[in-house]
Structure 1
Amino acid sequence: MRARNGGAVWRKVPRALALAGLLAFCAPVCAQAAWTVVTADSTGVSRASTPEGALDSLSARGFLTARLDSTRADTAFVWAGPRARIESLRLVGGAALSDPMADWQSREGGVFDLRALREDLHRTASRYARLGRVEARLVPDLQIAAGGREVAIVVRVDEGPEAEVVGVELVGARSPSRAFASRRVGLTEPTPPSQIDLGQVRRRLDATGLYLEVGQPTLARAEDGGLLLQVPVVEAPPGAFDVVLGYLPPTGEGGGSVVGNGRVDLRNLFGGGRAASASLERTPGLASAVSVAVSDPFLLGSPLGVGLAFEGASRDSTLARQRVAVSLRYALDPTLDLVATLAGEAVRPGTYGATLVDGRPRVRRTDDVLVGVGIAFARLDRPRTPRRGIALDVLAEQGRRGGDGLGTGPGSRRRLTVRGRIFVPTVAQQGLVFGADATVTQQQAGLDGLIDEGDLIRLGGAASFRGYDEDQFLARSALRALAEYRVRFDDASYVFAFTDAGGFDRPAGPGAVAERRTLLGYGAGLRVTTALGLATVTYALNPDLGPTRGKVHVGLQVGL
């Protein structure tokens, strides 16, 4: 007769051991106890449902020669006898575990305890299961010798086949998505557990920035019989609201002014890594900008991500500019995406922009259609506040231009946009950040060889050249290099010193002369976690400003 229990199969053993294996670990006998059990050799007094149950319990504890002496009313008198010791303990077979008995309570020379042996076998079976050997069996063969004083144990191991992991399941997520998690870690087809790097699984999930904590993955059975990699997570807030305010000191033409922008980001919508954002920016003068974007990293469970973005800007009565773009992303691996875009850009002159200068308007009415290709690469140790790693985004666009007054028919337009960051730890909680931002534009000029304001980008302020006014410069192409030194207090808080260096060029246009200029900015800042949220303060200067005339920017990020 055999009985299976907890990954182990028990061979035929004496009656006391068999009953102990079957009964001692079922419902507690004390809950139905009706007999008082007294051992003649002072082993103790206990309760049992029957005298036979008392003998079974003693046998399970290693008293293999226990016998019933006599009974009186509801009291049973038993003789426990000597406790058996483990004369030898061996495992036969199995190579997946280097030391399968590393954490066993049962040891050669130790006291034999059937319950402890059962726990040891169950623990080792669980270790095999974590390796994908969920059908592993451990079959103990017990030989009793020396009149019940010694037990020789041989455990035969049948590891069984290695099951395959069919997906990743996030434990603790508010809206878990198995398809999203599996694709994010690169587990897109059944894979043996021995071929999965659990550390890499944790790093790739952490790199999404969607989770505050990512725990140790474990294996569990799926309903279809395969294995699931279960990863405990603590989700980050589902969104954040950012506001950045800047103060521009008084100039010779007027007093100081306040500029700024607000932004709302929603993350991991419906548990699939989807995102949405909206921002509003207020710059000096009667100028403002708005942007809205939505994205899905794995459209319909495929490796193809899709995004839709709208940007609009107006500048008093000079012009209005709009851009609508659709982007597609293909994940080559969790750190590298190929990007393709299709964008439409339109510029409309305002009342002032439509006025003529030397026979041509300050701003032309144009409609561009641009097709772009690029890459997005990110390998960072901490996505929210990285200390080590590289991030690079490159997008090259080319298209056709149409509009009023071009005269020679549609024109061409090319633009290259690059953004890169390198994070290098130094000592203790300190580190360096190096970066570069570049925009290079090439386009067919108008009838008279001039470029107007509608073709140019704006520079200066907190998002580009710190130390200068917001949107102070107009440029066709620009390059900025930056360096920061950070001293951290914790994962999110640090003080930093920075410098920005670069320049831009602008061709002549209606009412404006050509300009090529080098820019330098520098300053310091503080980012700290407060009761309201993550606050950032920077003070920036340039060589033309005195130490008391710097640009101040204050930002606050509040989790939703």
Structure 2
Amino acid sequence: MHARVALRSLVGAVVLVVVALQPPRPADAARVPVEVRGASIASRRIEALFERAPGATDSSTVVLGLARLVHELQESGWLDARARAVARDSASGSPSAAWRIEVAEGRRTRLARVTLETSSREDSIAFAAALDLVTGSWAAPGAIGAALDRALDRVVEQGFPYAELSITSFEWDSIGASLRLSAARGPAVTIERVRVDGLRATRPAFARRLVGALEGAPYRPSRARIGRDRLARSGLFRTVEWAGLEGRGDFTRADLVYKVEEPRYSAAEAALGIQGEGRLVGLADLKLDNLAGTGRALRLAWRSDGPGLQRFHARYAEPLLFGGPLALEGAVTHDLQDTLFTRTDAGLRLTFGLEARRRLELELQDQRVVSRLGAVRSVEAALTGFAIESDVRDDLVEPRRGIRGRIEGSQTFQRERLVDGTRRKTTLATARALLEWHRPLRPRSRAGLALELLGSGRFSARDQLELHDRFPLGGASSLRGFDEQQLRVDRYALSRLEWRLFGSRRGERIALFWDHAFTGTRLPLATGGTRVATRSFDGVGFGLRLPAAAGVVGLDFGLEPGRPLLEGRLHLQLTSLF
């Protein structure tokens, strides 16, 4: 058996070496060999025009190359340029044919005269100022068309969406080219109303505030695009589209129309779990991300990780701060860890929407800790942090495709009171990075993969972090198969891989998962000093999601490899979206 494997490996290596030693394909094989006579274009440029497409024949390549060559000459001012190809057999007897390209460029023509015909003096002045055609330059049809497009865009930007600009004649002779244009601005249009279609939960008045003060103002495409970007940057809508203008029977007034798609904004979640020694744990979480259709967000959460281990969290966010794409968020968290420590965090976060589903965050936080373990009895701290996030998943609740990324960093200044009553100051630096990836295994397949990579690290001027400064790890939201917050570490790298099979109904799926964590924690030595202890942990299991009348019921079972099945961790979850 081993001999067969070695023989197969040897044969594979020989094949790779033979392929690598094959002479490179001649450069001429990628293009048809041609000989061009009478063209003023550089030979290298001409060779590029006759590049052979994959699977194309010589004849089709030459026909396409001739069209490219004539177009290139005309765009350089040779308006009468013509070209033809003559095939001839090669002297070597090769089956491939050589081609002679005969070019007749004619006279090179400059743009001598531009005539603009309008129905009013105002129209003539407006279009003459917008046109950037220069007489005396080479007459190039493509450049002329691009100049007309730019001129029309400039006039439309002045509030004339029905403006027209067209070519009535384009002639040339020995003197030069003569261009005659016909133009009309049409009526100036004022935006009567801004309308956002597709709203179900969001109030129309709030959506118009997001767009900006456009009602009653002259129509400007640039302002309409800014309004679309403001809607997208609010983060309230899955998709945003500017649908254009809709007339109101009067050509001078129109409605500016946008189309949006709303996600489900609110969720209520309840979960119950069984951990080691039969302990019950649970959580309740209420999220209202578009409160009463005003864009405000409210969250109330409670979690119990066992007797004496509880966490309370409250958050409120106010959108459109100062009328811009800014949101101000206030949050309070109280963490009770039995006889170890009690921690209270209160902070403010300013969120700036960069574009749709991309945002920048700045955070200020006040922290207070009362510890019953170690040399520190109480801590007062001030945290300054930032984060940048991009989320392009197709669904925020049940994603099947897309990527989410987030990078965080913070600096914490601490004032500590020790057991002996003395005080000291120290600093902490925290870094965190998250990458979440979802992809179906095949197009239109109900099976897919989900991968989450998370890395966090905390660094201090001290040799060793206190227990309350370490990261909690373990549980349904991090390392499955372990108790909630079973581990406390200085830094860790976590990967969560899932194979998912989605059902026919929304919210229905089964999953197999494997979680892996690599941790590092600085611990004291008996002889003095410290060392970094590194460990690896794994959790495997399955998950099930089933839609029910009250929402989506979830069941997760995780187990650390090598442990008996009865020592697995079971989590029951109910999520209601509304």
Listed one character per residue, the Cα deviations across residues 235-261 of structure 1 (whole Å, up to 9, x for unaligned) are 74x6321011111253xxxxx111111
User: 1:364 & 1:466 partners in 2: Cα distance?
Assistant: 32
| 2:321 partner amino acid | L
> Could you tell me which residue of structure 1 aligns to residue 455 of structure 2?
438
> Could you tell me which residue of structure 2 aligns to residue 296 of structure 1?
318
Quote the offset at 1:299 in angstroms: 1.7
After TM superposition, list the pairs within 5 Å mapping 1:59-78 onto structure 2: none
| 1:228 partner amino acid | L
Comparing both structures, which one devotes a greater share of its residues to helix? 2
| 1:373 partner amino acid | F
Q: Does 2:284 match 1:274?
A: no
> Could you tell me which residue of structure 1 aligns to residue 196 of structure 2?
169
What is the aligned counterpart of 1:492 among 500, 507, 510?
507
SS where residue 468 of structure 2 aligns? helix
Q: Does 2:415 match 1:402?
A: yes
Distance change >3 Å, CA 191–CA 268, structure 1 → 2: farther
Quote the offset at 1:554 in angstroms: 0.8
Listed one character per residue, the Cα deviations across residues 463-505 of structure 1 (whole Å, up to 9, x for unaligned) are 1100111111111212211111111114422111111112222
Bigger mean CA offset, 412-421 vs 187-196: 187-196
User: 2:237 & 2:486 partners in 1: Cα distance?
Assistant: 36
> Could you tell me which residue of structure 2 aligns to residue 153 of structure 1?
none
Q: Does 2:244 match 1:227?
A: no
Quote the offset at 1:344 in angstroms: 1.3
| 2:392 partner amino acid | R
Quote the offset at 1:393 in angstroms: 1.7
> Could you tell me which residue of structure 2 aligns to residue 341 of structure 1?
363
Query: Does the 8 A contact of 1:431 with 1:486 survive in 2?
Result: yes
| 1:258 partner amino acid | L
After TM superposition, list the pairs within 5 Å mapping 1:371-386 onto structure 2: 371-386=384-399
> Could you tell me which residue of structure 2 aligns to residue 244 of structure 1?
271
Query: Does the 8 A contact of 2:336 with 2:343 survive in 1?
Result: yes
User: 2:423 & 2:219 partners in 1: Cα distance?
Assistant: 60
SS where residue 454 of structure 1 aligns? helix
User: 2:291 & 2:283 partners in 1: Cα distance?
Assistant: 24
| 2:320 partner amino acid | F
Bigger mean CA offset, 543-552 vs 262-271: 543-552
Quote the offset at 1:556 in angstroms: 0.2
Choose between structure 1 and 2 for higher RCO, CA contacts under 8 A separated by at least 6 residues: 1
Quote the offset at 1:439 in angstroms: 1.8
Quote the offset at 1:514 in angstroms: 6.5
| 2:397 partner amino acid | R
| 1:504 partner amino acid | T
User: 2:211 & 2:342 partners in 1: Cα distance?
Assistant: 39
Listed one character per residue, the Cα deviations across residues 355-406 of structure 1 (whole Å, up to 9, x for unaligned) are xxxxxx4543111111112201111222332222111122100131112139
TM-score, length-scaled by structure 1: 0.61
> Could you tell me which residue of structure 1 aligns to residue 115 of structure 2?
none
> Could you tell me which residue of structure 2 aligns to residue 429 of structure 1?
446
User: 1:232 & 1:372 partners in 2: Cα distance?
Assistant: 33
> Could you tell me which residue of structure 2 aligns to residue 550 of structure 1?
568
Query: Does the 8 A contact of 2:190 with 2:253 survive in 1?
Result: no
SS where residue 272 of structure 1 aligns? coil
List gaps (5 residues or longer) in structure 2: 1-158, 165-182
| 2:200 partner amino acid | A
Query: Does the 8 A contact of 1:220 with 1:230 survive in 2?
Result: no
User: 2:432 & 2:237 partners in 1: Cα distance?
Assistant: 27
Distance change >3 Å, CA 513–CA 264, structure 1 → 2: farther
| 2:453 partner amino acid | A
User: 2:394 & 2:308 partners in 1: Cα distance?
Assistant: 42
> Could you tell me which residue of structure 1 aligns to residue 466 of structure 2?
452
| 1:292 partner amino acid | A
Aligned-pair RMSD on alpha carbons?
Answer: 4.2
| 1:520 partner amino acid | D
Distance change >3 Å, CA 407–CA 249, structure 1 → 2: closer
Name which one, 1 or 2, has greater alpha-carbon Rg: 1
The number of equivalent residue pairs is 393
Query: Does the 8 A contact of 2:275 with 2:483 survive in 1?
Result: yes
Q: Does 2:543 match 1:525?
A: yes
Quote the offset at 1:283 in angstroms: 0.5
List gaps (5 residues or longer) in structure 1: 1-131, 138-156, 251-255, 354-360
After TM superposition, list the pairs within 5 Å mapping 1:114-263 onto structure 2: 160=186, 167=194, 169-170=196-197, 172-178=199-205, 180=207, 183=210, 208=235, 217=243, 219-220=245-246, 225-231=253-259, 236=264, 239-250=266-277, 256-263=278-285
Distance change >3 Å, CA 278–CA 436, structure 1 → 2: same
Distance change >3 Å, CA 468–CA 263, structure 1 → 2: same
Query: Does the 8 A contact of 2:245 with 2:254 survive in 1?
Result: no
> Could you tell me which residue of structure 2 aligns to residue 264 of structure 1?
286
Distance change >3 Å, CA 328–CA 498, structure 1 → 2: same
> Could you tell me which residue of structure 1 aligns to residue 435 of structure 2?
420
Distance change >3 Å, CA 534–CA 160, structure 1 → 2: farther
User: 1:380 & 1:544 partners in 2: Cα distance?
Assistant: 35
What is the aligned counterpart of 1:502 among 501, 517, 523?
517
Listed one character per residue, the Cα deviations across residues 220-274 of structure 1 (whole Å, up to 9, x for unaligned) are 46999453214376774x6321011111253xxxxx1111111011121242322
Q: Does 2:325 match 1:325?
A: no
User: 1:303 & 1:208 partners in 2: Cα distance?
Assistant: 10
Distance change >3 Å, CA 191–CA 390, structure 1 → 2: farther
SS where residue 410 of structure 1 aligns? strand
TM-score, length-scaled by structure 2: 0.59
Listed one character per residue, the Cα deviations across residues 415-470 of structure 1 (whole Å, up to 9, x for unaligned) are 1122221111222122211111222101122xxx4432222222111111001111
| 1:298 partner amino acid | L
> Could you tell me which residue of structure 2 aligns to residue 411 of structure 1?
426
Quote the offset at 1:158 in angstroms: 8.7
Query: Does the 8 A contact of 1:364 with 1:454 survive in 2?
Result: no
Query: Does the 8 A contact of 1:248 with 1:258 survive in 2?
Result: yes
